[in-house]
Amino acid sequence: MNMQKFKLLHSQHGFTMLELLVVVAIVGIITSIALPNYRSFLVSNRSATNAALLHGAITHAKTLAGISGAVTICKSENPDAATPACSNVVSNGSNTGWGSGWILFQDKNANGQYDAGDTLVKVQPALFLDAAAGSIIPVPATQSITVAGIAGNPVSGPAMYFYVKPPDSYMGATYDRYVCVSILKKVSVVKTLPCRD
């Protein structure tokens, strides 16, 4: 009986080197499969988030216009400045477009520019460091959207969409998002064109 007790007390504990190597190999294989898919998932969600931010800002402008008159949302190169300004730089594939940030303000004279007397409502900081990291391009090119009136009807401007472009290394329908704005400023997000009303 003492001999059996002795053997039980001194039996092997832990893992053998072979078992440890097998576990490390399995973890390596699973990681090599999962990591690229996880990165793809993150990029797709980032595109969706950026589209949702712009969608929310335009919807907020419409709602506020119904309460307080003309409201403008415009692209800004300096949204974090003490006095931000609307940008006149044309959005295209060589810059971040509206991805540089935007401002939303009550536009007292409905001129589409942030002037003295206008009330700043919301500031969206830059979403991208450079065009390779992504961009938001309006089609047709526009630097601002102004809505006014009780129904938030447009002061001016055609139907349009914003292409939320993913990073250069992740191009394709999986990552694309479009924020569609109808003539009546109905706003929606779609993954493929054409925009649907």
Per the CB < 8 A criterion, the answer to whether 137 and 162 are in contact is yes
Please indicate, yes or no, if residue 158 is contained in any of the structural domains: yes
Structural domains in the chain (count): 1
Using alpha carbons only, what angle is made at residue 54 by residues 182 and 79, rounded to the nearest 5 degrees? 125
Question: Nearest-5° angle of CA 38, CA 47, CA 79?
Answer: 130
Give the per-residue pLDDT at 94: 87
Span 2-45, pLDDT tens digits: 555 555 555 666 778 888 899 999 998 988 887 878 888 888 89
Domain containing 91: what range? 25-190
Do the domain assignments include residue 12? no
Q: What is the DSSP string of 111-178?
A: SSS--TT-EEEEEE--S-SSGGG-EEEEES--SEEEEETTTTEESS---EEEEEE--GGG-STTT-EE
pLDDT tens digits along 94-121: 899 999 999 999 998 888 899 989 999 9
Q: Is residue 2 part of a domain?
A: no
Residue 161 lies in a domain: yes
100: nearest Cα among 124, 83, 72, 71? 124
CATH number of the domain that 95 lies in? 3.55.40.10
Decide if 8 is inside a domain: no
Q: How confident is the model at residue 150 (pLDDT cuts 50, 70, 90)?
A: low
Q: What number is the average pLDDT over the span 148-173? A: 74
Check whether 152 has a pLDDT greater than 70: no
Q: What pLDDT sits at residue 153?
A: 53
Decide if 197 is inside a domain. Answer: no
In the chain, the percentage of residues whose pLDDT exceeds 90 is 50
DSSP single-letter state for residue 99: G
1 in a domain, yes or no?
A: no
Q: Rg of the chain over CA atoms, in angstroms? A: 26
Is residue 31 situated within a structural domain? yes
